[in-house]
């Protein structure tokens, strides 16, 4: 199999958005080494993804002590240095203005594909463990709530009042930052499997919005503290309500 190198220094939600590109390259006969943030490794988000062989860790330019531009230039330099050893290399660094991250990834990588379906990769043993966990703790259903965001606090929303007024009285599994179930599992695939089994989902802009998109899950509310239409769910038919900058758009 041919080998490809792809630079992608973005967050976990964006890595789900990258899945159509990874799948496209794989179907073209490439196995991919992905240059990515360390959080992609520690979260185990791609551990069961057959498209990716190896993760090469690069600094997150937004949080680098070097500053954004020097860090970004260093990462691109690594790509250009390592790339010639591969059969194909490229990346997506999201330059300029755009309104569709899925298509932007293909555009910056100079690739074209009609299949824009998102994917998450959860192994059967985790699905089985979460089935047992839910049967034991939430046999009558639960609300998955993720509205306090650690690294993008502009999207924070105290959703407790809305949940109380609009959803059935069910246990709330709060996976938001400082929530009772935040980082209950270091392996994010457990939380994704839990998300799949929720009776209701109340979510601010985060990896879990894109995970719902990938798994075809209905969302009761998606909250955006500030406008950012390029990270709206691709299938908006699955979203009942959209809240943006304290206004209800849907």
Domain positions in the chain are 2-108, 124-248
- Written as tens digits, the pLDDT of the chain (250 aa) is 899 999 999 999 999 999 999 999 999 999 999 999 999 999 999 999 999 999 999 999 999 999 999 999 999 999 999 999 999 999 999 999 898 999 999 999 999 988 999 999 999 999 999 999 999 999 999 999 999 999 888 999 999 999 999 999 999 999 999 999 999 999 999 999 999 999 999 999 999 999 999 999 999 999 999 988 888 888 889 999 999 999 999 8
In angstroms, the CA 52 to CA 233 distance is 24
27: Cβ–Cβ under 8 A, 6 or more apart, which residues?
none
Name every residue whose Cβ is closer than 8 Å to that of residue 85 and which is 6 or more positions away in sequence: 5
- In CATH, the number for domain 2-108 is 3.40.50.2000
Question: Are 78 and 58 in contact, with CB atoms under 8 Å apart?
Answer: yes
Q: Which of 156, 196, 162 has the alpha carbon at shortest distance from 176? A: 156
Q: What pLDDT, on a 0 to 100 scale, did the predictor assign at position 137? A: 98
């Amino acid at each position: 199999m041919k080998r490809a190198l792809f630079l992608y220094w973005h967050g976990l939600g964006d890595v789900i958005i990258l899945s159509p590109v990874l799948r496209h390259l794989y179907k073209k006969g490439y196995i991919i080494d992905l240059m990515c943030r360390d959080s992609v490794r520690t979260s185990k988000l791609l551990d069961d993804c057959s498209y990716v062989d190896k993760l090469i860790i690069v600094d997150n330019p937004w949080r680098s002590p070097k500053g954004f531009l020097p860090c970004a230039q260093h990462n691109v330099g690594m790509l250009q240095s390592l790339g010639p050893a591969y059969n194909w290399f490229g990346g997506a660094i999201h330059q300029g203005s755009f309104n569709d991250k899925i298509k932007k990834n293909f555009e910056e990588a100079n690739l074209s594909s009609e299949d824009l379906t998102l994917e998450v990769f959860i192994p059967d043993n985790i699905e089985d463990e979460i089935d047992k966990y839910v049967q034991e703790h939430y046999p009558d259903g639960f609300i998955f709530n993720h509205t306090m965001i650690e690294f993008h606090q502009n999207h924070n929303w105290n959703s407790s009042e809305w949940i109380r007024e609009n959803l059935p009285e069910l246990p709330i599994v709060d996976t938001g930052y400082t929530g009772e179930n935040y980082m209950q599992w270091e392996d994010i695939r457990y939380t994704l499997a839990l998300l799949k089994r929720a009776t209701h989902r109340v979510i601010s802009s985060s990896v879990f919005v894109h995970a719902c998109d990938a798994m075809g899950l209905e969302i009761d509310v998606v909250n955006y503290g500030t406008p950012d239409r390029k990270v709206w769910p691709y299938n908006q038919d699955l979203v009942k309500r959209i809240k943006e900058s304290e206004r209800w758009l849907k």
